[in-house]
Amino acid sequence: HDARRRKRYALQGSRWKVKNLTYRIAKYPRLVEVLGRDRVDAEIDEAFAVWQGATDLTFTRKSTGKVHIEIRFENREHGDGDPFDGEGGTLAHAYFPVYGGDAHFDDDEKWTIKTYRGTNLFQVAAHEFGHSLGLSHSDVRDSLMAPFYRGYNPKFKLHSDDVIAIQSLYGKKTTPPPPPPRTPSPARPPNKFPITPAATSPSSGKENSKLCNDPKIDAITTMSDGNTYAFKGSEVYRLTDNGIFFGYPKKIFILFPGLPNDIDGAFTWSNDKTYFFKGSHYWRYTNMTMDASYPKSISDGFSGIPTNIDTAFVWGGNGKIYFFKGDQYWRFDPARTPPVSFGYPKPISNWNDIPNNLDAALKYSNGYTYFFKGNKYWRFNDRSFSIDTADPPFPRAVGSWWYGC
């Protein structure tokens, strides 16, 4: 680093000669019982996915045997001559490829997942794996490879400095061109999607085979971290712009402790909280942590709304909350008294050809509202208040457009 030089990334000088790398968590954090072993696995998966999203590298987690990158949570002196220093200070270190690529995390830190408290495991792990791949520290303060810890960021995305750095070692991502995106016709250019750190290529058969065989879902919502999650039975799928996020589906009880399976509906409100509905109750989550005093009865907070709904969503046209059930719908406006205006419920036929008995609905990050039923989906044109016209027309097959089938 030369003080007079423009700020940017730095390479250590070694890199992996293979592109398909394996890793194993050889020693879990002491807090693993609190965090959940599967959630630690998911967090480490997502940290590797950051680098997989920018290159043709692939990362496969193994639970036994020899791997390229071994991960350990250790404290103080732990056998490599580079002792940790207790809580704070040094959080972790990793070895460059020429030295083996392993990553060690200081187990005296209060590691946490998807919360502002403690030390965010994803953020530190994604940084350390940059070293495991051959990156040194960057002097671009906002880059992932800057040496200073920057705290939990629910809307994390790689800095361009990090992308240039990793691609200078392993090349750009050259996976086959994604299927036509589900974004609207050129008439309304799609919003710039946040760079999903995940592999943006359609997933391998494994992740999406269930959804491809039976695309019916229970609910779908975009959460405050900017990611879209589809819920089906006991599992949850994180969606990318073209398929299923690497390493999903995951069990609902692991990612959303306290949330039951087979939910009816979900929506994320402007307070950045996500509301899940099932039967006569609802649950409120901040990111993936259930808020205290939940679940509650639907009548306690959503008076006028029926039980056993089909779906719930925030309509892009007016920012109000809509509940659909059977052939009727209710509009819920928290700013009004009563929140459900006189004259509701109304017939779903008002929504011009949107079918009854829906499975799910969502206002997507491109601003459009989407309705899902069985193996089909519809995109709604809020301005004309009708199903959007496009080629191919709606309804479309949800598997190939949303789940990477």
Partner 1 sequence: APVHTDTGAMMYLSNFGWLDPSSKKIGSQSLIDIRKSIQDFQAFAGLNITGELDEETVETMSLPRCGVRDKIG
Does 398 contact partner 1 by CB under 8 A?
Answer: no
207 noted as active-site residue:
no
- Residue closer to partner 1 by CB (options 21, 125) is 125
x-or-dash string of contact with partner 1, 111-140, rule CB under 8 A? --------x----x--xx--x----xx-x-
Out of 100, 147, 338, 347, name the contact with partner 1 by CB under 8 A.
Answer: 147
- Residue closer to partner 1 by CB (options 124, 198) is 124
Does 400 contact partner 1 by CB under 8 A?
Answer: no
Q: Please report where in the chains the tokens 């960057």 appear, as a residue.
A: 138
**Across-strand partners of 119?**
111
**Across-strand partners of 17?**
none
How many residues of this chain interact with partner 1, rule: CB under 8 A? 28
Residue 394 and residue 373 in contact, taking contact as beta carbons nearer than 8 Å: no
Which of 239, 186, 195, 244 lies closest to 364, judged by CA? 239
Task: Given the residues 46, 74, 128, 235, select the one marked as catalytic.
Answer: 128
Residue 135 and residue 12 in contact, taking contact as beta carbons nearer than 8 Å: yes
Residues 86-115 that bind partner 1 (CB under 8 A): 88-94, 106
Out of 19, 141, 206, 251, name the contact with partner 1 by CB under 8 A.
Answer: 141
Q: Are strands 289-290 and 281-286 parallel, antiparallel or unpaired?
A: antiparallel
Q: Which stretch binds partner 1 (CB under 8 A): 144-152, 195-203, 208-216, 374-382?
A: 144-152
Residue 388 and residue 381 in contact, taking contact as beta carbons nearer than 8 Å: yes
CB of 165 to partner 1, least distance (A): 14
Residue 377 and residue 398 in contact, taking contact as beta carbons nearer than 8 Å: yes
Q: Which stretch binds partner 1 (CB under 8 A): 85-93, 198-206, 362-370, 371-379?
A: 85-93
Q: Which stretch binds partner 1 (CB under 8 A): 80-88, 178-186, 291-299, 329-337?
A: 80-88
C-alpha span between 127 and 105 (Å, rounded): 11
Residues 6-65 that bind partner 1 (CB under 8 A): 7, 10, 12-13
- Residue closer to partner 1 by CB (options 84, 329) is 84
CB of 169 to partner 1, least distance (A): 15
Euclidean distance between the first and the last CA atom of the chain, given in angstroms as a whole number:
46
Residues 284-313 that bind partner 1 (CB under 8 A): none
C-alpha span between 230 and 218 (Å, rounded): 8
DSSP-based three-state secondary structure for 51: helix
Other CB atoms within 10 Å distance of the CB of residue 221? 24
CB of 69 to partner 1, least distance (A): 15
Which of 43, 49, 103, 100 lies closest to 73, judged by CA? 103
Residue 82 and residue 93 in contact, taking contact as beta carbons nearer than 8 Å: yes
C-alpha span between 57 and 50 (Å, rounded): 10
SS (H, E, C) 281-310: EEEEEECCEECCCCCEECCCCCCCCCCCCC
Residues 351-370 that bind partner 1 (CB under 8 A): none
CB of 136 to partner 1, least distance (A): 5
CB of 247 to partner 1, least distance (A): 24
- Residue closer to partner 1 by CB (options 91, 121) is 91
CB of 118 to partner 1, least distance (A): 11
Does 3 contact partner 1 by CB under 8 A?
Answer: yes
Residues 149-178 that bind partner 1 (CB under 8 A): 149
335: which 2 tokens? 């700013």
Could you please report the per-residue DSSP string of 239-269? E-SSSBPTT--EEHHHHSTTPPSS--EEEE-
Q: Which stretch binds partner 1 (CB under 8 A): 61-69, 142-150, 156-164, 208-216?
A: 142-150
CB of 333 to partner 1, least distance (A): 44
Out of 73, 84, 111, 402, name the contact with partner 1 by CB under 8 A.
Answer: 84
Which of 176, 235, 172, 231 lies closest to 206, judged by CA? 235
184: which 2 tokens? 């609207």
Which of 383, 382, 381, 359 lies closest to 371, judged by CA? 359
- Residue closer to partner 1 by CB (options 3, 18) is 3
CB of 33 to partner 1, least distance (A): 24
Q: Which residues bind partner 1 (CB under 8 A)?
A: 1, 3, 7, 10, 12-13, 82, 84, 88-94, 106, 119, 124, 127-128, 131, 136-137, 139, 141, 147-149
Which residues are annotated as catalytic?
Answer: 128
